[in-house]
Amino acid sequence: MRRLPVYLLLDTSGSMYGEPIEAVKNGVQVLVSTLRSDPYALETAYLSIITFNSTAQQVTPLTELANFQAPNLEASGCTALGEALSLLATKVDQEVTKTTPEMKGDWKPLVFIMTDGMPTDNIQKGLEEFRKRKFGVVVACAVGKGVDTSVLKQITENVIAIENADSAKIQSFFKWVSASVSAGSMKVEETGKEMGSLSELPPPPPEVNIVV
């Protein structure tokens, strides 16, 4: 069966310590609970979490929603976004099935990146690796004022922003991600076509601004 891989790239640098990281953990939990009650997503969507601080690590490999258990996230260190992009490329190669004449491969992965600061590593290498892979919709979310969105624009044209890292705003971002994954799962199952742009996702809530 064709899976819809969803990769969340979450910033767990020191600046996320305290309320923000708790809100992210809670957001992941709510995201998974919500998607589990959606028949399209429960059968189609697979979720992976990559966190980045001083290094990048895949804390949850691509996992069927039914088997997903929210990882424990801790905030410390810097913001190795470049490394996270490299790791994403590697994991996509390993985890996402390609189409062959005998088997239809997975749908193109959806990627949601969330960061509250500027990358502390050089993102060029990661960016190159990332660009060599095929993705469905890639959305980067800037949290707070400390992010230069032009850096995120290098990764994807779909950049959104929330004003600060308070719980309610982080929650609304995750709710929107959840609605987007639901819509994406439904679209592939119903029409056999994938999402290609931000405009096909549900409209973001008022707390989430689209950066043009």
Partner 1 sequence: MLSENGISASTPETKDFIRWMTTEAWNNYQKDRMDKKIIVKNRIDSHPIVIPNATKGKHYSSPVITLPTEDAFDFSIEGPDELGLIVLHDSDGVFKIAGTPQVTGDFHFTLRYKYHGWLEGEPLLERKIPFAVNPNPRDLWKDIPTPTDIQFFKEDCEAEQIIIKAGPDGSPRKDMVAASKRGRSHAQEGKARDDHFRLFHSDDNDWYIIAVADGAGSARFSRKGSEVACNTVVDFCKTKLADASAFEEKINNYRNANDEETARKILGDAVYSIVGNAAFMAHKAINALSDNVEGTKPKDFATTLLLAICKKLDFGWFVASFWVGDGAMCIYNREKHTARLLGVPDEGEFSGQTRFLTMPEIFRDARSLYQRLRFGIVPDFTALMLMTDGVSDPMFGTEANLNNIDRWDDLWDKLSNGFPEDDIPGVDLSDDNENVKEGLLKWLDFWKPGEHDDRTIAILY
- Considering only 55, 93, 134, 192, the residue that binds partner 1 (CB under 8 A) is 192
Query: How many Å apart are CA 67 and CA 53, to the nearest integer?
Result: 26
Task: Point out which span in 98-106, 120-128, 147-155, 166-174 binds partner 1 (CB under 8 A).
Answer: 98-106
Q: How far apart are CA 120 and CA 56, in angstroms?
A: 12
In the set 29, 60, 154, 209, which binds partner 1 (CB under 8 A)?
29
Binding status of residue 22 toward partner 1 by CB under 8 A: no
Question: Which of 1, 150, 206, 212 lies at the binding interface for partner 1 (CB under 8 A)?
Answer: 1
Pairing relation of β-strands 158-162 and 138-143?
parallel
102 touches partner 1 by CB under 8 A:
yes
Interface pick for partner 1 out of 55, 61, 93, 104 (rule CB under 8 A)? 104
Residue 40 binds to partner 1 (criterion: CB under 8 A): yes
Q: How far apart are the first and last CA of the chain?
A: 37
Q: How far apart are CA 107 and CA 102, in angstroms?
A: 16
Beta strands in the chain (DSSP E): 4-11, 45-52, 56-64, 110-115, 138-143, 158-162, 208-211
**Token pair in block for residue 110:** 């959806």
Exactly one of 9, 16, 23, 65 binds partner 1 (CB under 8 A); which one? 65
Tell me: does residue 44 bind partner 1 (CB under 8 A): yes
- Residues at the interface with partner 1 (CB under 8 A): 1-3, 29, 32-33, 36-40, 42-44, 65-70, 99-104, 186, 189-192
